A and B are shown apart, each in its own frame.
Chain A
Amino acid sequence: MNLLDVLLQLDMFLPEGLEGQWWISLIWILPMFLFIFYGQKLQMWMVLNDVTKSMKKIKSMKENARKEAIGYAKSINTNMDPTERIDKFVEYFTILPVDMDPNGIIPKVQHFMRVRDNRVKNEVKKLSPTMDALTVSKMENILEAATILNMIFKVVRHFYLMGKKSSSVFFLVQLQMIMPILLQEAEALNKAVDAFKAGLPIGDGIGPMIVGKMMLNKEKKIIAKETVVCEDRYKERILYLMKAEGPAGNVGEPGTAVEKLINEMAVNINSIIMIDAALKLEGEKTGDIAEGIGAAIGGIGVDRFQIEDIATKHGIPVYAIIIKQSVLDAITVMRKEIAESFDKVNKSIFDVIENETKKGDVVLIIGVGNTLGVSQ
């Protein structure tokens, strides 16, 4: 039986009057075979096309951040061409300590992060030795955004090329699945550069902004690297207020600062209240606030570990107040909705003090986050 006989057998499926017209069967049989044998290749071609488009977007964002970094560096020191230095800088990496034996890993991570921060600062200062602290921090933040964008692009390109080289649709499908998240993050970093350049407060700065207002007109002292603290009174309670030193773009070292306050300065803290920006879930409103328990602090985990550790050792309750926002809101200029949460958070802080502490207690209030554009 040849192919023509098979096609003629399919006559029974054709409408009346079309019997014998075997070629009509080809219209649906051919695509069926095409999809059986070339379906995966076709799917791969479509995925590849989709990933290529997204990769091009990330590439243009990476290049934009690099150009912005070079442009900002040139505006600081017009006598120097910073291109080579910045190109070298965006390739910097940090190797985190080995975690096979996690005992004592936190001090190691802290050490490496400090070395990294100092190295970055020194490199930035080389661009212009007369640069003030605010400009250094702006440049650092811009470079960090450019470095992360460069890293995202390189990882995406790696998996894209691996998928292409091995003709494996699975590499590409995995990349396609996480692409929306990567694009969202890349877009946030790209937009953040403008806020960093202008020294604008970012969404993450809401915690320092709230505590900064409480610190106004009070004597402040540096307690840890880029971290300030001051004392206040409220309804017969002693308040210690802490935040990163602004208006430069710092996050400070609140973990070390809390350790110093309790261990070295022998302050008998009864409660800790932490105010921080937190990532909202889809469907939640930007600027909504929520109260909870635990150390509200992001980052690599060193500060959170230090605060949790010391709070557990001394039996100190840790209360958290979070201001919800997306990843884009957190690193771009502060939205009105976030700024408007100020009064609600303030009320929550004093509610916690009044309801959860008693007269004579010592309460530590920490405004966590990047304090760019927010003084105290």
Chain B
Amino acid sequence: MRKEEKEKHVVYTIEECQQCGLKTKRTFKLGDFVYKVGELCSKCKTAALITTIYAEYMKI
């Protein structure tokens, strides 16, 4: 019998600083949406913008 392959995913939020362009990847938090003003940029302390939210899948 063929063993069914299962996938697990983790959702990430990508924030991009509009000033210096620094990209930060963190796990998704409830309330995040694409093009929402995100957290402060760790480099230049200006508000970053959420540019993408995606899921990375891995086989288990």
- A positions within 8 Å CB-CB of B: 198-201, 209, 212-213, 216, 246-247, 332-336, 338-339, 342, 373-376
When distances are taken between beta carbons in the complex, the residues of chain A under 8 Å from B53 are 200-201, 333-334, 339, 373
The residue that A334 contacts in the complex, of B31, B35, B55, with Cβ under 8 A, is: B55
- B positions within 8 Å CB-CB of A: 9, 11, 28, 30-36, 49, 51-57
When distances are taken between beta carbons in the complex, the residues of chain B under 8 Å from A376 are 35
* Known pairs A198-B30, A200-B28; A333 contacts B54 (CB<8 A): yes
Provide 30 A-B residue pairs closer than 8 Å at the C-beta atoms, listed in order of the A residue. A198-B11, A198-B28, A198-B30, A199-B30, A199-B31, A200-B11, A201-B53, A201-B54, A212-B35, A216-B35, A216-B49, A246-B33, A246-B34, A247-B36, A333-B9, A333-B11, A333-B54, A333-B55, A334-B53, A334-B54, A335-B55, A336-B56, A338-B54, A339-B52, A339-B53, A374-B33, A374-B34, A375-B34, A375-B35, A376-B35
Q: Complex formed: what's the CA distance from A213 to B54 in Å?
A: 16
Q: Complex formed: what's the CA distance from A201 to B36 in Å?
A: 13
Residue among B28, B30, B52 facing the most chain A CB atoms (10 A cut-off): B52
Q: Which residue of B lies closest to A338 (CB)?
A: B54
* Known pairs A200-B11, A333-B9, A333-B11; A342 contacts B33 (CB<8 A): no
**Would A342 and B35 count as touching, CB distance under 8 A?**
no
When distances are taken between beta carbons in the complex, the residues of chain A under 8 Å from B35 are 212-213, 216, 246, 374-376
Q: Which residue of A lies closest to B34 (CB)?
A: A374
**Would A209 and B34 count as touching, CB distance under 8 A?**
yes
Q: Which residue of B lies closest to A332 (CB)?
A: B55
The residue that A199 contacts in the complex, of B9, B33, B52, B55, with Cβ under 8 A, is: B33
**Would A201 and B57 count as touching, CB distance under 8 A?**
no
The residue that A375 contacts in the complex, of B9, B11, B36, B54, with Cβ under 8 A, is: B36
